[in-house]
Structure 1
Amino acid sequence: MSTNAPPQTPSTPIRAIPSTLLSRTAPTIPPASRQYEPLVKAVLRHRQYKIFLHSGLFGWLLVTAWRIWSGGDGEIWLLPVRPSTLAYTVVTFGVGALPIVVLRKSHLSAAPTPSPSPSRTLGSAFQRRSTFHALFTYLASSLSIAALHILITSAYDATADPHSRLSLFVKSRKHPYYLNGHLIYLVLSQAFIAFACLVRNVLLDRFAVRWGPALAGKEKLESFSLARIVTVALTAILYSLATTVVYLVAFAFARSAVLPALYQLPLVPRLLRPFTAHFLRGQWTPLLLARHWSLVRRAFYLALTTVGLWEFVESSFDAIAAEPVAVAGHTADPGLTLVSGITSSDLYLKHFAYAELRDFASAESPEASTRRTALFGDQKHTPNMWVALARESLLTLGRDYQLFLRRGQPAPPPAAPAPASKSGTPLPASAKATPLLRTSVFKPAQSSPLRTALDTLASDGPLATAVASTAEAGASHIPELFRSVMPSAPPSASPAAVAKKAEENVAALVEGTKSRWREALRARVPGLVAEAWGHAHAWWTRPRVHRVAEASLPNRHVDALAVEVLCRLTCASLKEDAYGVVQRDIPKIIEALLSFLTALEDYQAELNAKYALPPPDVLATLPAKDVAEKETLAMEAARASEVCGVVTDAIKEGIVQVVRTFGDKLAAFKFPLRVAKKLQGFVDYN
């Protein structure tokens, strides 16, 4: 038998033994953009249709009032249901309500504008592009409403005054291009109303969501109710009346002073005379008010309807935008949906997630207890749901805590790193570098006698250098008293220094001119007018104490919700956390909350010490102006304390709940000394 025979191949192939012990990585918590945000946006879209319905009903009432006021003589009770009325209602909604809703939705902000004074608020607003978008929207809407009003008037008011049929030019054969003053007055009135409403919304910070009782769950705001309609009506009447009076004064000044001044400029009269020459003639401007009172009344009614429609739409949007949203109950895992929601980058949607998570943490039904137990014992995700929730909540509170310590100011830029050598290790301070020789190491070539003589007589030659050194040596022996009168050459300045000096001189010249004009104007203005102007300027530019507090705590409502969520889930974990996942994070949670509370209480103590009213006997000795100023500051300090109280009350209530729930079991945890002293006060109180 040969030993070199090939080995036999087995009939059954060899393969690895299968095993079910596979290393599978646990999935992470899905992002909010995929898990939570689509559900909330669907609910918000449905609520948007509710705003459309309410705005359409309000616009229908306005169009019906227009038709009746424009001369609906017979069968008035049929006017609301006529096809023409319904068609005008649709157009009114399209040009008056729909643009405002789209504007508010696109520029919605969850945090207020951090500006301490009205001047800073308005100045910062007009530095953003969104403000100009809003101005264009308001102008387009107001002018469209004016065009619709003119169309209704010309179509259904055959017996109206001639100015009611507003055309672009007056009916004159001699001057066919004279502009119709009534149309100009009405159009400018609507433009002024649009600008005034925008300024009002900016000063009220209307584009920021007004989180309040609706978010706290204490009451539900209704967007369409009798009280809201009455409030909108009163606001529209008062604001329209005020803006109409201001517009009358501005229009009279423009006709009496601005237009004649334009005719004094070169080349401008040639452009204006064919269209506006008739405005220079006629009666005195105040007398024209009596002759054209019907036009003023019409403009006021148009402004009233415009402001009323906008105010109703915006008030409805304010109420619905802040109403809580509950979507987690319709999902398979509500806890996972809410934990995913609080990680959203959109602060507006994050508010809704925390508000629903607070209700999830405080519900007392057996189903809610089961859901919380599943959240605490989650092992399907990495990190698990409680770790993700606690980490995101503490990060949110930590960022806002640091912002509060900076009083709303942005974080300072990071310090520049120290320069290092190319090898990566810095040079020691004691090491000295070897000096580098900058001279030539070769023997210089011999020059001609003529070249040597010319170099000697040159300005930088040996002869000039010797003379200069001799002069300096002689000047060193001159006494200091006489050395000050010696002529000295001015140092050569760089072009950048010269340009900077010129800018400073021009700025000083402009500032000096302004101050001289200001002093001359102040000398000619009566005392009462100057005093009123001083009060108005101080009101316009003075920083408000409560606005500084609002800028320091812009996200105070979401901070309060995060505190409530952490404390309520911590209390629920005593019975529902079977693995003790929450207990290891209790010291970290309490330390973060008490640190935030200490900073808030220190700020409130600072406000009370700085702006508290003096005793009544001291107030009696002060002038009335100082008393009014101190009362104003004390009221603003009280409002600032209310701003801080949103987070302060939530932290105090949450710590009290934790202390009452755990009791003596808190002794098992270790806290820093300052945190332990603060926590001991809550333990002694309970």
Structure 2
Amino acid sequence: MPSSLASIPQAQLPTKYRDVVKLALQPRQTRAFVLAAITWHLCLSAALFGTLRLVVSPSTLVVSAASFGTAILPLLARRKRGFGRITTPPPKTPSSRAAQLTAALAHAGTGKAVTQHTAAFVGLALGYTALLAGRTQGWAPQIWVESHQAFYLNERFLYLIGHSALLGAVYTVVFRCLPSPDSAALPKFDAEMLTTDARVTIKDRVVSLASSRLPLALVAATLASTASVLVYAMVRVRVWSSVLLVVGSRGLLRRLLVPSFRVEFGAFEVGVRTTLFSVAAVCAVETAYVLLDVYLTHPLVALSKHARHPTRMLVDGIQEPVVFFASHAFAELARLSAQDGEVRAAVYRDVNSDATAWIQIRDTCLKLLEEQRQFVARRGVVEAAKPPAPASAVQQAPQQQNAQQTRTIWDQLASGESTHSSSASPAQTSGATSTTTGGKPPAPAVVSIANASRLLHGLVSTAWRLVPSDAKHVLFGPRRRQLLLGDSPASDAASLIGRDAIRTVGAVVALQSLLCHSLAEDAYGCVQKDIRRVLVALVELHTEIRRLGLELEQRARDIDHQLAEQQAEPNSQAAASSEYQQQLSTTWSSSGAHSVHSALTTAMREILDTFAKFDLQLGTQLEVQLAECLG
């Protein structure tokens, strides 16, 4: 048991499951913060080409600790607080990558996340330049110009700060908002730990997750820094010349806002230093997120066993509306139901109260399975209820519009109407509109990331229409077009089936274990009365997942077949003939969809094998469905 809970007497332990989880996670949270700070210190020292003397230098320790506390630590604190506010699983993500990017840019929380990460990366850049200025000349905020005998703004420092702000925005969109901001906001629970007997430690999960995410972060940081320095080297003279026209070549503003071009910029050195900082900052921030997610989502000890009323606390946990705490409760329920006979016996014996333990566990688990089945059956589409409009109004509106459109000025003159109303000035028209709306002018459009993304989409679409057809095929061939704009079955598999895998697998394992062990441990036999009800819920969810899986496999085969026909090179057809099928298979196993499917199959088989000798009367339809699921 964690030391934070061991020191608390049982009578003083909180009765709410979420409060006990918070206490148990405090040592892990502190350990994750310390490891994240050490990671940033090592990355910062490596970016400075530091030796062991620089690593243990007091100035380096102070600067790295200060930059971590002002930049990375607030990001981790905000993410941890966000875990306790999410009460619904993420919705279905768009299938294509272009639609995912558009939805992420239009999300309400993207602007705030971009601002937070931009400020964080700027803070890391300030710490980097503070140490770099002490070791290498030419990186201070102000630099002395001998020919003018005055201090001017350092162009290198200004470029690094601007690049850091851009890097923070790019990192937010690529790593914190895709495939959707809602799914990225939740921590990643490993549902496979509930269905396998292999012991997985926190170290194993950190290594596995970091090995899959850090290479992408390194490549993204390198590409972003390289592109940034190349673009700036090409436009720097024109940009600063335009600024000089506005500010003036003499005066105080020129020294404060415009750098001196008498000092060499050194594009190669700046590019190397910027790339090193970008890789260090992105890897440090991403490692900090990995550490926090793994340490906070790794299975805890049996917290409910140390409470005064263990079963009541466990039931309170699985009924918790916050997804993060409920996920821990379902994981604990699954492990205890499968491994701990004392907990199962306590659940079986709790039959004297109004709401018995088994009934509450059964209803909560079945409700979760039904919600998941409906989500899969609807393919993630949520239908909003809209009041029906009157039929007469719907029919009259198009007729009135058509009449107004077909009525010409000659018809008005023939009928004796005046043309002053149609030739009214725009000012009069706007005045009349404001009068009819209560005297309030229309609100101006708000400048936001969503509006900017729509404008950018329009500009890109217009520019794409101007590109010749032959150039379109070369620049944006069928494979690139499918990758960006086409359907992605793997994305649907992850967002439809694997979105809430830990709670779904926990519910399935708990129901299976409590039913299968009831023959020897349930003295009252009350649990065995719900065998058919549990099997129906398992079969219905398994059937929907199987239908979706077959549909996704067919879509992946169609995409591969279509791309193979459109591919010009015969040698590449064989290599890419099953690309999207392999992508679907990889995502199916890594997103939690495989864990859900295998847990359902195992649960149905174990229940049937356990109660086969009692000749269960399940009905012809259910027996056929079970044969299809297990066949």
Matched, 1:54 2:40: no
Which residue matches 1:343? 319
Q: 2:101, 2:178 within 8 Å by CA — same for their partners in 1?
A: yes
Q: 1:379 aligns with which of 342, 351, 371?
A: 351
CA distance 1:66–1:634, shift in 2 (3 Å):
closer
CA distance 1:182–1:620, shift in 2 (3 Å):
closer
Which residue matches 1:304? 279
Q: 2:538, 2:600 within 8 Å by CA — same for their partners in 1?
A: yes
CA distance 1:125–1:321, shift in 2 (3 Å):
farther
Tell me how far 1:272 sits from its aligned partner: 6.5
- Residue by residue, what CA displacement relative to the aligned partner does 1:611-654 show, whole Å, maximum 9, x if unpaired? 337999x9799754887776333334435654643322111100
CA distance 1:60–1:208, shift in 2 (3 Å):
same
Q: 2:372, 2:541 within 8 Å by CA — same for their partners in 1?
A: no
Query: What pairs up with 1:181-192 in 2 under 5 angstroms?
Result: 181-192=155-166
Matching residue's letter, 1:631? S
> Which structure exhibits the higher relative contact order, with contacts defined as CA atoms closer than 8 Å and separated by 6 or more residues?
2
Q: 1:96, 1:310 within 8 Å by CA — same for their partners in 2?
A: no
Structure 1 stretches lacking a partner, 5+ long: 1-32, 420-486, 500-509
Query: What pairs up with 1:234-633 in 2 under 5 angstroms?
Result: 237-255=218-236, 269-271=245-247, 275=254, 291-326=266-301, 327-363=303-339, 368-413=340-385, 518=463, 521-523=466-468, 527=471, 531-532=475-476, 536=480, 538-553=482-497, 554-612=499-557, 623-624=568-569, 631-633=578-580
Tell me how far 1:186 sits from its aligned partner: 1.2
Which residue matches 1:5? none
Matching residue's letter, 2:31? K
Q: Structure 1 length as normaliser, TM-score?
A: 0.68
Tell me how far 1:237 sits from its aligned partner: 4.3
Query: What pairs up with 1:135-150 in 2 under 5 angstroms?
Result: 135-150=114-129
| Distance of 1:661 and 1:250 partners within structure 2 | 68
Tell me how far 1:203 sits from its aligned partner: 2.5
Tell me how far 1:397 sits from its aligned partner: 0.8
Tell me how far 1:82 sits from its aligned partner: 4.8
- Residue by residue, what CA displacement relative to the aligned partner does 1:110-140 show, whole Å, maximum 9, x if unpaired? 8456322333333333334433332222222
Query: What pairs up with 1:85-96 in 2 under 5 angstroms?
Result: 85-96=60-71
Which residue matches 1:114? 92
| Distance of 2:609 and 2:600 partners within structure 1 | 14
- Residue by residue, what CA displacement relative to the aligned partner does 1:321-343 show, whole Å, maximum 9, x if unpaired? 32012312212333222122110
Tell me how far 1:561 sits from its aligned partner: 1.8
Q: 1:203 aligns with which of 158, 169, 178?
A: 178
Aligned residues: 547
Tell me how far 1:541 sits from its aligned partner: 2.8
Tell me how far 1:172 sits from its aligned partner: 6.6
Q: 2:512, 2:606 within 8 Å by CA — same for their partners in 1?
A: yes
Structure 2 stretches lacking a partner, 5+ long: 1-13, 392-409, 423-428, 430-454
| Distance of 1:354 and 1:515 partners within structure 2 | 47
CA distance 1:531–1:332, shift in 2 (3 Å):
same
Q: 2:330, 2:506 within 8 Å by CA — same for their partners in 1?
A: yes
Tell me how far 1:225 sits from its aligned partner: 7.4
| Distance of 2:114 and 2:99 partners within structure 1 | 18
Tell me how far 1:309 sits from its aligned partner: 1.7
Which residue matches 1:649? 598
Tell me how far 1:216 sits from its aligned partner: 5.0
Q: 1:170, 1:176 within 8 Å by CA — same for their partners in 2?
A: yes
Matched, 1:153 2:98: no
| Distance of 1:93 and 1:516 partners within structure 2 | 42
Tell me how far 1:399 sits from its aligned partner: 1.1
**SS of alignment partner, residue 226 of structure 2:** helix
Query: What pairs up with 1:14-163 in 2 under 5 angstroms?
Result: 34-62=15-43, 64-65=45-46, 69=50, 77=53, 80-108=55-83, 111-112=89-90, 114-115=92-93, 116-154=95-133, 156-157=134-135, 160-161=136-137, 163=138
| Distance of 1:418 and 1:354 partners within structure 2 | 48
Tell me how far 1:231 sits from its aligned partner: 7.5
Q: 2:104, 2:173 within 8 Å by CA — same for their partners in 1?
A: no
| Distance of 2:101 and 2:378 partners within structure 1 | 23
- Deviating more after overlay: 207-216 vs 292-301: 207-216
| Distance of 1:515 and 1:306 partners within structure 2 | 31
Matching residue's letter, 1:316? L
Q: 1:611, 1:637 within 8 Å by CA — same for their partners in 2?
A: yes
**SS of alignment partner, residue 107 of structure 1:** helix
Q: 2:581 aligns with which of 613, 631, 634?
A: 634
Tell me how far 1:593 sits from its aligned partner: 1.1
| Distance of 1:619 and 1:381 partners within structure 2 | 64
Q: 1:171 aligns with which of 145, 157, 161?
A: 145
Matching residue's letter, 2:188? R
- Percent identity over the alignment is 18
CA distance 1:257–1:380, shift in 2 (3 Å):
farther
Q: 1:223, 1:319 within 8 Å by CA — same for their partners in 2?
A: no
Matching residue's letter, 2:110? T
Tell me how far 1:361 sits from its aligned partner: 1.1
Matched, 1:665 2:614: yes
Q: Structure 2 length as normaliser, TM-score?
A: 0.74
CA distance 1:34–1:328, shift in 2 (3 Å):
closer
Which has the larger helix fraction? 2
Q: 1:378, 1:385 within 8 Å by CA — same for their partners in 2?
A: yes
Tell me how far 1:196 sits from its aligned partner: 2.2
Tell me how far 1:278 sits from its aligned partner: 7.5
Q: 1:224, 1:316 within 8 Å by CA — same for their partners in 2?
A: no
| Distance of 1:42 and 1:118 partners within structure 2 | 40
**SS of alignment partner, residue 385 of structure 2:** coil
Tell me how far 1:236 sits from its aligned partner: 5.4
CA distance 1:50–1:214, shift in 2 (3 Å):
farther
Tell me how far 1:351 sits from its aligned partner: 1.3
- Deviating more after overlay: 235-244 vs 174-183: 174-183
Q: 1:659, 1:682 within 8 Å by CA — same for their partners in 2?
A: no
